[in-house]
Amino acid sequence: MRNRFAEELTLTFERMEGHKQREVADKAHYSESTVSRIRAGLKKTDPQTRWTLANAINDLRLKYTAASLDYGTISFQRDRKLKGDMFSALVKQRTEQSQREQLEPEFEAAITTEPKFRTPEQNLIIQRYPREYVEEISAEITALIKQADYAGITMSQLQHVIDEVNDSTGG
């Protein structure tokens, strides 16, 4: 059965002209057959393998998928219910932002209430809010990737911008 990383790896190879499976395998120090089995979903991957392949290809989407599997981050990049276009990504991002913003005042009231006085509803809101926030961040990343695609910005150019921001903020 295929998995999310295998699907994204296959899409990355299809999207990126010039990346040959053999070249990526050599750069990642894997055999070409290993990369082929990973793409087919026949070989399970650990975090190091996913990270090594994502770095060898240097594709932001693939890195995000690898990280989402490692850290439990939610990814909307392959939401089967939505069309895969930029408009759908923006709508999803705005929906997630709106849901989080609606919950925010209740969350702030709950966290400023002393724990022993919190209602069961407040405790549920405290549990729910981080998920809403992470869903919004994931939708924002997906929207950014779609916008970059639409604008003709390559994933390596976008990755360069992200690296520059991380370097300047100590990230």
How distant, in Å, are the alpha carbons of 25, 48, 93, 127, 129 from that of 102? 47, 38, 14, 15, 10
Q: Looking at the domain assignment, is residue 60 inside a domain?
A: yes
Coil, strand or helix: which one is 19? coil
Q: Are residues 54 and 108 in the same domain?
A: no
Q: Is residue 76 domain-resident?
A: no
Q: Is residue 78 part of a domain?
A: no
Please check whether residues 110 and 67 belong to one and the same domain: no
> pLDDT of 133-159, one tens digit each?
888 887 888 788 888 888 888 878 888
Q: Could you say which of 19, 45, 71 is where a domain stops?
A: 71
- Looking at the structure, tell me whether residues 58 and 96 fall in a common domain: no
Domain with 106 in it:
86-169
- If one counts every other C-beta atom within 10 angstroms of the C-beta of residue 163, the result is 11
Span 50-66, pLDDT tens digits: 888 888 887 777 777 77
Query: What is the total count of domains within the chain?
Result: 2
47 located within any domain: yes
- Tell me the DSSP string of 37-100: HHHTT-S---HHHHHHHHHHHT-HHHHHHHHHHHH-----TT-TTS-SSHHHHHHHHHHHHHHH
pLDDT at 118 over 60: yes
Position 69 confidence tier, pLDDT thresholds 50, 70, 90? low
The confidence band for 1, taking pLDDT boundaries of 50, 70 and 90, is very low
**15-24, 28-37, 60-69, 102-111: least confidently modelled range:** 60-69
What's the mean per-residue pLDDT of the chain?
81
